[in-house]
Structures are given as structure tokens and as C-alpha cells.
Amino acid sequence: MPSSEDDYSYAPKKVAGEATEGTKPPVSSYKSPFIGKKGEDVATWLKNKPNEVDIDICFFAILDRSADKGSMVVGRQGGRELKDMDDLELMRFDAEFATASLYAAQSGTWDEMKTSTGSANIEY
């Protein structure tokens, strides 16, 4: 179980010629290293990941207390061109829309979504 925010032992590893599927249920022993962390902490963890870890560093989701109400926060770091890793934005979406947005994430679509929804506050 991760004991610090620098622990990447539970993160999926890159395997040549294979796509990473993510975590498959049931997940019983995993405890997220992000519980109680801010969006900025998650972004930093992603930026600092080792090269062998197979996680997107630009787009991510945060399930906060509002997840029980059917919404989640989606984060993007990297700015419009996904190159300025100090540029972090967070937006709240309906969970179904957020899932579809992450699936088809592209830098141009982010700005369109931001115009219609605005930024998000995370509910700890």
C-alpha cells in the first residue's frame, strides 16, 4: 500500500506493445495516495512519475465528495498545447460526461468545455 505521495508501486507499468487497461475490479487492498490531497498535489505526482509508469500526465479525474451526487472533477495540466506543465485547470462535470471527455481528451476541446462550465472547487 502506498505510504507516501512519492510511491508509484501501484501505478500501471508500461509494457512494450501492450495498452494499459487500468485497474480491474475487485480492488480490495489498494488505497489511493491522493486521499485528502488537492488537485495540485495530484498534478505534481503525475508530473514526477517515473518513465516506466503508464499514466497520462495531462488529463486526470478526481472523485471528491460530490461523486456521490454524480459529478467529478477533471483536471488538465499542460495548457492548450499540453506543454506548460505549470498550467493546471480543474473543471466539474456530470460523471458520464466527464468519462466521455477523458476518453476523447484533446487540448482544443478543453477550452470549449471550460467556456460552458467554468472552473471547479473540490469538495474535501
Domain map of the chain by residue range? 55-117
Q: What is the pLDDT of residues 114-124, one digit of tens each?
A: 665 656 666 66
Tell me the whole-structure pTM to 2 decimals.
Answer: 0.70
Q: What is the DSSP letter of 12?
A: P
Q: What is the pLDDT of residues 51-104, one digit of tens each?
A: 998 888 988 888 888 888 999 888 999 988 889 999 999 989 898 888 887 777
pLDDT of residue 85: 92
- Widest distance between CA atoms in the chain: 39
Find which of 45-54, 101-110, 111-120 is predicted with most confidence, using mean pLDDT: 45-54
Q: Residue 23: which residues within 8 A CB-CB, separation 6 or more? A: 12, 30
pLDDT of residue 86: 94
What gap in Å lies between CA 39 and CA 72, rounded to an integer? 12
Nine-digit cell at 85? 506543465
Could you tell me the CA-to-CA distances from 75 to 27, 62, 79, 101, 116 in Å, in that order? Answer: 24, 8, 11, 11, 16
Q: Which of 9-18, 26-35, 85-94 has the lowest mean pLDDT?
A: 26-35
